[in-house]
């Protein structure tokens, strides 16, 4: 992932087939956190209710990301640059900072989940922190080694993920019926559970154009991204819910132990963690380069990887507060998704690619902040948290879109 080039991709250079874009999103979403998101719905919901939540949340979240992904082939720019059209130059920098900061958390969460599984087959529970830090350093070393090393790792990882994923699926569907039929505790509202699933899907909004900018077809892009995210979520989230129900715990190691998948489960978690963190490190590189153009690839990779590895030491906190983390992300990212959708699909004002890169001009006015975008972001986030008791996703989207369009029409009239 050399790719820390934030310049526009010329139409003639957008040659990536839609199937490759599908594989990028599918492989990146075959990850421990997708599995863990399903597990976080247990024991609050029965398995049947959890499956319904997953179906609605995974599909609806994927629809919005797929729609936004078409900005990539339309403009040919990465997400942190495209966001300038909605939030202004410095407003988009806030998104880049958010992306860079949250990737520390994502990498740490991935490391901790895999470490929980690995520690149960080697070293015991007391070795979880060592496993988490070690896995973080391994992923960083591979990415720092350049695209050839990443490609070699992926060629080994993808077949392993496929085989072990099938084994995990068989184990979950072989659970006794009394496990499947256990009722939920009702400690979370249905719409609150939906916020968790949608919040996870919305984490992809920060990379809506990063990979799709290399694909020429707008329609092919939207289909590829939708299928890549929705199918993998509809596969792994239910397995997480089933495993958590079998283990009566959302601890990754305990879930895999309940399924009698010690070694194979650890392999799945480890490989999925390392390969997904390749993507996280790449996204961080793009974000840092947009903020500090002179920053080198190695600085970005090592700074992100090592800080995240250090954060992995707080293993218990990451797992105990996973559902809360998804809700925080939802409150931040759902309104961003609504603003971007309003800007590129409802406002329909043409976006000049060159203007996105100019240090002065329409996206640098008012100190580089788009007032409508920032006010809508704050209003949408406020609506999310105020409406959490009934479900914050839809109120947040409606408020963010409405405020943004209203202020734009008011200021431009």
Contacts of 357 (CB under 8 A, 6+ apart): 7, 8, 81
Q: Answer whether residue 224 is part of any domain.
A: yes
Average pLDDT for the chain:
86
Q: Is 88 a domain residue?
A: yes
Instruction: Give mean pLDDT, residues 110-135.
Output: 86
**Cα–Cα distances in Å, from 353 out to 42, 77, 163, 334, 363?**
46, 8, 43, 25, 11
Spatial contact of 358 and 81, defined as CB atoms under 8 Å apart? no
Nearest C-alpha neighbor of 35 from the set 273, 208, 194, 211: 273
pLDDT of residue 113: 82
What's the number of domains the chain is made of? 1
CATH of residue 331 = 1.10.4160.10
Whether 7 is covered by a domain: the verdict is no
Q: Between the CA of residue 42 and those of 45, 185, 288, 331, what are the distances in Å?
A: 6, 9, 37, 22
What's the confidence (pLDDT) of residue 5?
66
Contact criterion met (CB below 8 Å) for 129 and 47: no
Are the C-beta atoms of residues 87 and 373 closer than 8 Å to each other? yes
Instruction: Tell whether 305 is covered by a domain.
Output: yes
Q: Is residue 261 part of a domain?
A: yes
Q: What is the pLDDT of residues 148-182, one digit of tens each?
A: 777 677 777 778 777 878 889 999 999 888 877 88
Tens digit of each residue's pLDDT (9 = 90 or more) over 279-319: 787 777 767 777 777 776 777 788 888 888 888 887 666 66
**Is residue 9 assigned to a domain?**
no
Angle CA 32–77–18, to nearest 5:
60
- Whether the pLDDT of residue 249 is over 90: the answer is no
pLDDT in tens, 65-78: 999 999 999 999 98
Question: Is residue 139's pLDDT more than 80?
Answer: yes
Q: How far apart are CA 84 and CA 355, in angstroms?
A: 10
Quick one: pLDDT at residue 278?
A: 80
User: Which tokens go with 116?
Assistant: 């929980």
Exposed/middle/buried for residue 185 (C-beta within 10 Å: 0-12, 13-18, 19+): exposed
* Whole-prediction pTM: 0.83
Answer whether residue 261 shows pLDDT above 70. yes
* Residue 19: both structure tokens together: 């199937």
- Are 396 and 335 in contact by the 8 Å Cβ rule? The answer is yes
Report how far residue 190's alpha carbon sits from residue 388's, in angstroms, rounded to the nearest whole number: 11
Give per-residue pLDDT as tens, 331-384.
998 999 999 999 999 997 889 999 999 888 788 887 889 999 999 999 999 999
Specify the pLDDT at position 413: 60
What was the pLDDT predicted at 3?
47
Convert the pLDDT of each residue in 52-109 to its tens digit: 999 999 999 999 999 999 999 999 998 989 999 999 999 998 988 887 888 888 888 8
State which residues form the domain around 209.
16-412
Q: Please, which pLDDT band fits residue 2 given cuts at 50, 70 and 90?
A: very low
What pLDDT is attached to residue 206? Answer: 82
- Contact status, residue 96 vs residue 299, Cβ threshold 8 Å: no
Instruction: Decide: 213 and 72 in contact? Cβ < 8 Å.
Output: yes
Which tokens go with 32? 């421990």
Average pLDDT over residues 19-27: 86
Q: Which residue has the higher pLDDT, 183 or 221?
A: 221
| Residue 184, in any domain of the structure | yes
Domain membership of residue 157 (yes or no) is: yes
3-state class percentages of the chain: helix first, strand second, coil last, to nearest 5: 80, 0, 20
The predicted structure's pLDDT at residue 1: 39
């Amino acid at each position: 992932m050399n790719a820390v080039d934030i310049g526009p991709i010329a139409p003639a250079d957008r040659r990536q087939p839609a199937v490759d874009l599908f594989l990028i999103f599918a492989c990146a979403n075959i990850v421990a956190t997708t599995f863990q998101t399903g597990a976080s719905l247990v024991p609050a919901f029965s398995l049947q209710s959890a499956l319904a939540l997953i179906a609605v949340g995974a599909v609806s979240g994927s629809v919005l990301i797929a729609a936004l992904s078409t900005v990539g082939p339309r403009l040919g720019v990465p997400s942190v640059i495209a966001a300038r059209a909605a939030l202004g130059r410095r407003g988009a920098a806030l998104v880049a900072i958010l992306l860079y900061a949250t990737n520390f958390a994502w990498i740490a969460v991935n490391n901790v989940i895999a470490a929980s599984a690995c520690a149960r087959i080697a070293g015991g529970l007391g070795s979880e922190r060592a496993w988490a830090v070690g896995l973080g350093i391994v992923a960083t070393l591979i990415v720092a080694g350049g695209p050839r090393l990443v490609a070699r790792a992926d060629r080994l990882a993808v077949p392993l993920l496929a085989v072990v994923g099938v084994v995990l699926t068989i184990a979950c569907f072989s659970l006794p019926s009394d496990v499947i039929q256990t009722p939920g505790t009702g400690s979370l509202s249905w719409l609150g559970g939906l916020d968790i699933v949608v919040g996870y899907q919305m984490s992809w909004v920060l990379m809506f154009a990063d990979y799709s900018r290399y694909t020429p077809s707008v329609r092919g892009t939207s289909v590829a991204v939708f299928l890549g995210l929705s199918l993998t979520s509809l596969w792994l989230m239910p397995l997480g819910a089933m495993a958590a129900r079998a283990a009566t715990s959302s601890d990754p190691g305990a879930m895999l132990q309940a399924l009698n998948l010690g070694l194979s489960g650890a392999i799945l978690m480890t490989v999925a963690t390392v390969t997904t963190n390749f993507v996280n490190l790449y996204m961080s590189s793009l974000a840092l380069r947009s903020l500090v153009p002179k920053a080198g690839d190695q600085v970005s990779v090592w700074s992100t990887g090592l800080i995240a590895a250090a954060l992995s030491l707080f293993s218990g906190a990451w797992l105990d507060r996973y559902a809360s983390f998804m809700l925080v992300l939802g409150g931040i990212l759902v309104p961003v998704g609504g603003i971007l959708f309003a800007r590129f699909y409802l406002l329909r004002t043409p976006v000049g690619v060159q203007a996105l890169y100019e240090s002065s001009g329409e996206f640098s006015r008012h100190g580089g902040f788009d007032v409508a975008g920032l006010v809508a972001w704050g209003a949408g986030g406020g609506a999310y948290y105020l409406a959490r008791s009934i479900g914050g996703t839809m109120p947040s989207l409606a408020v963010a879109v409405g405020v943004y369009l209203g202020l734009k029409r008011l200021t431009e009239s």
